[in-house]
Amino acid sequence: MSPDHDTPRDDPRYPIHKTDAEWRADLAPLQYQVARQAATERAFSGKYWDHFEAGKYLCVGCGAPLFESRTKFDAGCGWPSYWEPIQGEVVERVRDAGLGMVRVEVRCKRCGSHLGHVFDDGPEPTGERFCINSAAIDFKPETP
């Protein structure tokens, strides 16, 4: 897990860099608030919380593949939930001590976009639940 960070703005550790104006131009307002300002969309309001088509979920900031539909499950929490990322290397875990509790934030490792949080109450085989904002991801359907 990486050390505490406030937000992913202009962090040289990420290979994808854009100015704030570029992020605002490339993302819809809610996507910007979630991905670049670490906001959270309301439960049961995002377009992917109950979406179960075959395919991959990509970062809205840079298009990096993050999660596969085969790892998605209904956690009943109102956000898309996955038991593992496509590869452990595509997401970064960051200690989040905001809101009076300690959680583990999940970010895209390519652009630093805030995706959501990971909890240890998921199903086997990992026991983890990656609770991800719909506004932080796009969907690419599987092609036959």
Among residues 62, 108, 111, 131, the one annotated as catalytic is: 131
| Rounded Cα distance, 102 and 62, in Å | 28
Asked if 62 is an active-site residue, the reply is no
| Rounded Cα distance, 15 and 35, in Å | 16
**What does the block give as tokens for 33?**
């608030």
| Rounded Cα distance, 83 and 92, in Å | 15
List active site positions.
131
